[in-house]
Structure 1
Amino acid sequence: MVSTNKKVRNFIPDDISLSILSKLPLKSLKRFECVCKSWSLLIDNSYFMNKFRNNFLSNLRCCSYYDGSSILLQIGKPNFKDDFYSLSGERFENKVKLDFSNPYANQFNFQIFGVDSVNGILCLHEYDALGEIILLNPATQAFKVLPPSQVESVEVSIPDDARDFVDFYIVSNLHGFGYHRVINDYKIIRYVRFDIESSVEGDEHFEEIIYSNSLGKISLEPLWEIYSLTSNSWRKLDVDMPFSSKCNEGTQVYIDEICHWLCEKDEEDNPAGACLVSFYLSNEVFLITPIPSNLDDCFDVEASWINLARLNECIALISYHEPRTTFHISILGEIGKKESWINLFTIGPLSCVRCPIGVGTKGELFFQRKDEELAWFDLNTQMIEELGYKAGDCCARIIIYKVNILTDGGIVN
């Protein structure tokens, strides 16, 4: 090498370092905060955050995770005959009505669980009850009706003089649906509880009620269950995780063999308060990420809609605050790290919004306007575009769907 008398800088200029840091994933950025005091305050630097947001949006446009996916628009219709449309293209100009038949349309009103399909498979379930659960591949129309678990065989023996005013229910709430790559298995997680209702306050007959199944007397404590498609069976999970009794549509998301769900802060049995629960399908352990106080007002009455989404490989918490007609988008840098949440975007006021209906692959915010038109907000252009549909008084919903005709993962008619 040719020697030189030029001095080599022993430091990086601030503008260059800020430019580099603004291109990092949030997890890496949060870890660099320990380098020096000025870097620990970057989140409060408006100039830096504008650069970080711009890079975040640029990465959204080229994110490959959802390549080949389309937007599934569901518009509610009477008698469970909902209309389904596939929306694709840069501006969702490609619209195709789908023959999306519900194999149990005449038996129960199904809900699509979660915010997207898993390898082209959708999980359908009867809302807020211990009803049918179905795995469905819309591309091949192959479906699998899940078998009951031992819990569902519980029988209740009620004294004759109490039968007129004591009711017994088994209620389950789905919390997760995902795929374990190593063993090529689909999994479903649910929380099961036993509800006893009496029309007589302070009824003493509860102590006389005997609950049993094929194994004899059982405990009436709530429990977690997990289903395996490979074994086609349910089994009890020996975990004590925070749960959600509401399980609102869109408050669960599956990312890379981890099922995530939101828990409200008003659950009496959830001392963790408002939090994100992440359940690892590989080893069946979980982590809790508290929602910081500057974000958890999304669980208050002023937030009429809450959704989880996957943005740039990050978990995004998106809420709509009706009184202020604003959307808030926060992302999580690292699971289990409360301090790694940052509030990335505040959008609005958007006075035309009647109710949100979902989030797209690039962070598009879909909603129904007050004039009943369905529309979406583009984070990049900051513009509102119409979809060309009216929902009227019917419910509408957005789900991310990727066609899979190669395999049904063991799902057969």
Structure 2
Amino acid sequence: MKKKSAAATNAKVHNYISDDISFTILSKLPLKSLNRFRCVRKSWSLLFENQHLMNMIRKNFLCNLNCCSYYDQASLLLKYLDETHKDILYSLSHERFENKVKLDCTNVIDHLYIFRIFGLGSINGIVCVHANCGAIVFWNPATQAIKLIPPSPLELVELPIPGVAKEFVNVEAFTYLHGFGYDSVIDDYKVICLVSFDIQVELVDTFSDSLLEDIYLDELWEIYSLRSNSWRKLDIDMPSSSYCIEGTQVYMDGVCHWLCEENTPAGPCLVSFYLRNEVFCITPIPSDEDDCFKFKASSINLVLLNGSISLIAFHRETTTFDIAILGELGIKESWTKLFTVGPLSCVERPIRVGTKGEIFFQRKDNELAWFDLSTQVIEELGYKARGPYTRISLYKENILAIEGISN
């Protein structure tokens, strides 16, 4: 009887794990694993209301910020206007971005005049730059190699208009860049765009209302391949971004991601487009009532932190930042708000977020500065912003030649 009693006691001891041990194990798991753990049973999900556990998760998350993959030892591309209001580009590197090198962007300006760097930053040393006119260029700042992307044939679509009316109808196509990424399976760089059409009819009184109603073109998705140097139409119906605001598109591991606003049919959501098989996934954004992430903010950035899709919202009225991390694509409940930063009363507007937790912003005195999420310290970059044209992108140099891009 004594042996049986001792065995039963040992079994109970082995089946019990103290909170300290449980919290230590859980806090070291990736967010994807944590969210799956939460879904197993309600009592396990309630553990994440424990502030001690959440503090441990935050601490380990910050410790891992220095273990980025692609952007290890990456520099910044700082684009701003100089005293003469010309585009100037600098590469900023080292631990506090104190190493500053002015880059020659003459060949890009020759093609686009005024340009913007798309997305989070470079892919294999290549940045995608574009202009408001719709022109797109692939550019390697290290080698000055450049590729001007040909215009899309979709912009020349023939309208189904009766012959008598064609001379009174003007059609203008608008291209909205949504994604730039790399298909590693076939070694190809790709661009995803939405093409919409503005139809203007002159001498309206000449036609009946029913005829005008028939003059309509749906929006079209298209994809460009550097390998074939051509565009083709995508037979797909997916949510788009109405404004294509900077800071709302990122690329990771063969997937292009962009944010959609509330006025889209899908509501506020994240769209993830897979370059290899050309399918997409929608992840809803939590509403204000979910107390996870307030989508209505003064500024929103879609970024990568610790290899995870993250949203960082700036609230101007409180000068605070909310940071939410996505555990798993397609699952709304896997968004987890990890941090609230601030108030930072000196912030005029955020510019970019680095992969290691740096929040770059323009101060109210126009100085460019950054807040280190790990150390909670604000440091200056040493530049003044001129208007809303200052941009910061991530850049990792690559001097290898890429097929299709020439010097």
Question: TM above 0.5, one fold?
Answer: yes
Greater helix share, structure number: 2
Deviations 1:78-134 (A, max 9, x none): 88731111112222222222223343437542211111111111111122x4x3111
Change (3 A) 1:260 1:202: farther
| Residue number in structure 2 paired with 1:272 | 266
Cα distance change, pair 379–297 in 1 and its aligned pair in 2 (3 A): closer
| Residue 215 of structure 1: aligned partner | none
Counterpart for residue 31 of structure 2: 26
Alignment-derived partner of residue 405 in structure 2: 411
AA aligned opposite 1:116? G
What secondary structure is seen at the aligned counterpart in 2 of 1:9? Answer: helix
Q: Secondary structure at the match of 1:139?
A: coil
Distance 1:153 1:92, change over 3 A: same
Shift in Å at residue 407 of structure 1?
2.5
Shift of 1:280: 0.6
Tell me, in whole angstroms, the C-alpha distance in 2 between the residues paired with 1:144 and 1:313. Answer: 29
Which residue in 2 is equivalent to 1:330?
A: 324
Aligned mates of 2:76, 2:281 — CA distance in 1:
30
What residue number does 1:243 align with?
A: 240
For residues 79 and 203 of structure 1, what CA distance do their matches in structure 2 show? 50
Contact 1:76 1:394 in 2 (8 A): no
How far the C-alpha of 1:363 sits from its partner, in A, is: 1.6
How far the C-alpha of 1:158 sits from its partner, in A, is 9.3
Residue 262 of structure 1: aligned partner: 259
* Cα offset, 1:18, TM superposition: 0.8
Which residue in 2 is equivalent to 1:91? 96
Corresponding residue for residue 3 of structure 2: none
| Residue of structure 2 in register with 1:150 after alignment | 153
Q: C-alpha separation between the residues in 2 aligned to 1:20 and 1:297?
A: 26
Which residue identity is paired with 1:355? R
Q: 5 Å matches for 1:5-404?
A: 7=10, 9-77=14-82, 81-105=86-110, 108-127=113-132, 129=133, 131-154=134-157, 167-197=170-200, 204=207, 220-267=217-264, 271-294=265-288, 298-300=294-296, 303-393=297-387, 395-404=389-398
Deviates more, 1:399-408 or 1:29-38: 29-38
User: Cα distance 1:283–1:220, how it changes in 2: closer, same or farther (>3 A)?
Assistant: same
Asked if 2 retains the 8 angstrom alpha-carbon contact of 1:171 and 1:193, the reply is yes
**Conserved? CA contact 2:172–2:198, under 8 Å:** yes
For residues 326 and 136 of structure 2, what CA distance do their matches in structure 1 show? Answer: 31
Q: Distance in 2 between matches of 1:66 and 1:161?
A: 55
Work out whether residues 274 and 296 of structure 1, in 8 Å CA contact, stay in contact via their aligned partners in 2.
no
SS of 2:357's partner is coil
Q: Deviations over 1:376-397 (max 9, x none)?
A: 0010111111111111335211
Q: Kindly tell me: are residues 161 and 151 of structure 1, through their superposed partners in 2, closer, same or farther at Cα, counting changes over 3 Å?
A: closer
Percent of matched pairs sharing the same residue: 59
The alpha carbon displacement at 1:197 in A equals 3.6
Of 151-160 and 177-186, deviating more is: 151-160
Kept after mapping to 2: 8 A contact 1:123/1:177: yes
Asked if structure 1 preserves the Cα contact closer than 8 Å seen for 2:369 and 2:378, the reply is yes
Structure 2 CA distance for aligned equivalents of residues 368 and 246 of structure 1: 22
Moved more, 331-340 or 197-206: 197-206
AA in 1 matched with 2:275: L
One-letter code aligned to 2:255: I
Aligned CA-pair RMSD = 2.9
Aligned letter for 1:136?
W
- Aligned partner of 2:374: which letter? N
AA paired with 1:293?
A: S
Return the offset for 1:34: 3.4
Determine if contact 2:120/2:247 at 8 Å carries over to the other structure. Answer: yes
**CA distance in 1 between partners of 2:170 and 2:320 (Å):** 43
Q: How many residues are aligned here?
A: 396
- Structure 1 unpaired stretches of 5+: 212-217
Q: Normalising by the residue count of structure 1, what TM-score does the alignment of the two structures yield?
A: 0.88
Structure 2, gaps ≥5 residues long: 1-5
Deviation at 1:12, TM superposition (A): 1.6
TM-score, normalising length: structure 2: 0.89
Q: CA deviation at 1:41?
A: 1.6
Q: Deviations over 1:284-331 (max 9, x none)?
A: 11000000113797543xx22111111111001111111111111111
